Structure 1
């Protein structure tokens, strides 16, 4: 009789696992995530602000070097931006709308310096500048609205 109970327990576990997976699939949403390279071939550089024109960004879009993929939103990791540049010449600073307009990075702003920076993209407008003297003023800034 003990053997019968073990089989029943295994059967119940399989049913529970199948139901959990079914719930995840039914409540998940599928979304296409477009993948972009910031500044295209030029990477993170001057006049990057114009690069966003004509592009529609959504939360889940990735800025980097890949192709369009389909992800299950409920199981996907958070979206990211990839900034490629020479760390001796530039950096990336996440700023507010005011910092973007004034080309200034407030004290304590998150600064990236590796030249191959992965940054989490959140819903809404995401603002980034280069804080090297004069770079933002000459167009090294970007505002990305992720719907």
Structure 2
């Protein structure tokens, strides 16, 4: 009887644990990555269903771009908050949070000319 109860308990625990695996997405197209206009329609391409804890990989030539997570206002105005973390390796990996996620390049005029991204994660 104890063995059956233990088996039932393990079965119930197994069903209550939700196994999720995070996905990595390389931003932009294969040739350019994180660059001018590459991310405009990229989030809506087929096969992308972003979830919290998924990782965006920003690939670009270091020294030519950077990546900064910003607020909606920062995205709209192409500005980053003072003290915001600036990623600049050329192979930056940033985890998504639930809800809207906004990213820009802070090099002069880059955001204005399309080096920015908005992604919604569920």
* TM-score, scaled relative to structure 2: 0.79
The structure that is helix-richer by fraction is: 1
For residue 105 of structure 2, what is the aligned residue in structure 1? Answer: 130
For residue 101 of structure 1, what is the aligned residue in structure 2? Answer: 76
Structure 2 residue 1 is the aligned partner of structure 1 residue 26:
no
Larger Rg computed on CA atoms: 1
- Equivalent residue pairs, number: 115
For residue 34 of structure 2, what is the aligned residue in structure 1? Answer: 44
Structure 2 residue 119 is the aligned partner of structure 1 residue 144:
yes
Mapping for residues 42-81 of structure 1, pairs under 5 Å:
42-47=32-37, 48-55=39-46, 56-59=48-51, 78-81=53-56
| Gapped regions of structure 2 (runs ≥ 5) | none
SS at match of 1:137: coil
Shift of 1:127: 0.2
